[in-house]
Amino acid sequence: MKIFCIFLIFFFNVFCELSVSQQKAEDKAERQRKCQLVQGVCKLKCNSWEYVFTHCDFEPCCVIREYRLP
């Protein structure tokens, strides 16, 4: 009976860990999709003519600023 309880605890821990890692992967893909919708690029550092729209995992989503005539 003890072995069965230990097996159940192990099984639920592994199952919960897999669902958390899958959720993180889906969140990362969603952030990258949002970045691409605004024609941005996920890269390590934005240039001076770009602004940070949001973050793709650890790197920022850089979007080119629109040039407006004075």
Q: Is residue 70 part of a domain?
A: no
Confidence (pLDDT) at 70: 59
* Range(s) of the domain holding residue 26: 2-64
Is pLDDT at 59 greater than 80 in this prediction? yes
Helices (H), 1-70: 2-37
Q: Is residue 37 part of a domain?
A: yes
Query: What does the pLDDT look like over 14-51, one tens digit per residue?
Result: 666 656 666 777 787 888 888 888 888 888 888 888 88
Confidence (pLDDT) at 19: 61
Confidence (pLDDT) at 31: 83
Confidence (pLDDT) at 14: 64
Tell me the C-alpha distance between 27 and 21, whole Å: 10
How many domains are there within the chain?
1
pLDDT band at residue 7 using 50, 70 and 90 as cut-offs: low
